[in-house]
Amino acid sequence: MSSVELPQVMDDNLISRRKKIMQSIEDIRGKKAEIAQALRELGVGKPQENESVKEDMKLLLAAFDSISAQEAQYMDILKTIVGIHEQATLDIAKDFEKKIEDDAQKLKEQKEKQEEDATEEDENAEKTPEEQANSEVIAELQEALLELKQVSEAAVAASELNEKLVERLQLTKRKKSAMMEVRAKKAKDLDDVATKVRAEVMERINKMAALKKTTTKQEKELKELQKQCLQLGLQLGTDENREIDPAAEEALLDDNQRVPVIVETQEKPDLNDEEKEKRREEIRENIKKEMEKKEQVNTLIREKLASMNARRKRLQEIRKMLEKQEHEKEKLDAAISNSAVAVQNDGEGIALTPETPRPSQEDEAEAPAAAETTVVSAPVAASEDIDEEEDGEVTEKSLDDILENARANLSNLTAMRERLEHIKETGGADLNEDDLTLLERLDNVALEEDEKLKLPPAAAPSLNEDSVDDEDEESDIESAVRATFHHVIQQPKPLELDDRQKEILNQARRAAIEDLIREIDKKLPTSPRADDSPTGSLSISLLSLEAGELREMAGYLLRLAELREQTPTP
């Protein structure tokens, strides 16, 4: 039995209503048979190893339970209708029996009346004319009283019928309100389920994004550690094959080599005035060439920054367009769901809607691949004409992937611009291997652009080749910029900071030093010793460490030395 109280009567025409309910029950049983067949097909093989098949089976089982509940409700309604039909049959039978008894009673009264009339006629034949006139008046009065009695009985019957109709109207209103409450409750339950499912999907998407971000960060940290190990002269590999480079070991163990030998310089012979003047002229020419070269590089960097700013603005416009399309898509989905709910509520009973087809695994696997393939050229096409971009295969792209790639490219361009500004302010004081590679590649890119400008229009490459070159330029732009700075900038340019900024910088460096010291303390094992000599305890602790721990300790000490050199003594 259903927990919801069902109405006793669904319609005045019980026969037609019963036929409709029987038809609905047959439809429900057909749907149950289809769901059972689908479950049997999904159960073939090993469904527990496939997550998508398990999700489909859960949805089918939920649909089967829902349809079974609807079937139980229809059966309850059918039982109620059958009971009402039987009760109505009994009432009609009783009414017919009562009517037959009333007809027999009327026939009996009519016979008695005829007998009385015959007796009265016999008596009237013996009466005088005056008595006969009085008897006629009495008969008329009796007929008038009989008519009044019939009218009063009809009035009583009409009032009883009116009361019954009023009661039936109230019952119908109560049934209608109960049905509306049932429908509202079901609609609310469906909304709650949809909200819950939507929240679960968004939570999974956020988890996947956070996991991807963490993985990327860990990969970057691994690459940085590998570079540090290579700089320290450590060879990477398994525990058995891992060993220290002999040259690095000699450099670390030989104390004499750590202090460079002072080379005895011989005094150069004095130059005459002509040679001195010639030497000064060469120095001035070299300085002039270096200044011109530096100005050219600064001009190239400004042009690159301007192009990156334009590309960043274009990516922002594309992101706004994509967000607008996504917003319109959400509105369309909401309108479709509202129309589906309205169609479901318009039915006389509880409507049955077919299951929404789910995409297959192959479609799900092909959709991200197609999105990644089409999204690769999105940042490059941002600097081209917008008409060419809109005429491409937009339908094959995933809006979510395009938006994600646009955001990633925008963040990369912003980080590259900040790095270029930092290098320009510091004058290339903190250049590393990546910066050198970037600056070298930027020189190559500049030369290629100059050659393209010198080519005639007939020898210009096609649109597809331009897009490929733009992609290569984007991937190598950071290395090219760093390489150009390395060739031009020879001496660092100190930052001009006020006292407050210097104090904040020194505090940050001291905090970093304290963190490194704490990390070193954590790595060093505690070993009790008779003497309290710090040198002895440090040497014993270092000897007790493994090779990997010693490498990590060396990295911490190098970082500590760099920070200590940059931090003044408080």
Burial class (CB in 10 A: 0-12, 13-18, 19+), 257: exposed
Q: What does the alpha-carbon distance between residue 17 and residue 85 come to, in Å, rounded to a whole number?
A: 11
**Inter-CA distances, 125 with 118, 122, 129, 135, 209, Å:** 11, 5, 9, 12, 119
The pLDDT, as a whole number, for residue 192 is 92
pLDDT for the residue numbered 241: 47
Alpha helices in 263-360 (DSSP H): 273-345
pLDDT at residue 464, as a whole number: 44
> How many beta carbons lie within 10 A of that of residue 28, not counting itself?
20
Claim: this prediction has a pTM higher than 0.85: no
Q: How far is CA 363 from CA 358, 360, 367, in A?
A: 10, 5, 6
Determine phi and psi for 13, rounding to 5 degrees. -85, 95
Task: Report the C-alpha dihedral over residues 26, 28, 29, 33, rounded to 10 degrees.
Answer: 140
Structure tokens belonging to residue 421: 């500004």
pLDDT of the residue at 547: 67
Instruction: Give me the helices (H) in 378-498, please.
Output: 378-381, 386-390, 399-426, 433-454, 463-488
- Torsion from C-alpha of 99, 100, 104, 107, nearest 10 degrees: 60
Number of H helices, E strands in the chain: 15, 0
d(CA 120, CA 126): 10
- Rounded Cα distance between 226 and 174, Å, is 78
CA separation for the pair 471, 435 (Å, rounded)? 20
10-residue mean pLDDT profile of the chain (570 residues): values are 39 70 85 83 69 81 85 84 78 78 81 78 65 74 81 82 87 90 91 91 91 92 85 55 50 50 57 81 88 87 86 85 82 73 49 39 40 38 42 48 70 72 68 66 61 48 44 51 47 53 66 68 55 51 66 72 64
pLDDT of residue 535: 46
Give the start-to-end residue ranges of the domains of the chain: 1-126, 144-252, 498-570
Closest CA to 1 of 75, 63, 67: 75
> For the chain, percent helix, then strand, then coil, each to nearest 5?
80, 0, 20
CA of residue 110 relative to chain centroid, distance: 89
pLDDT, residue 211, reads 92
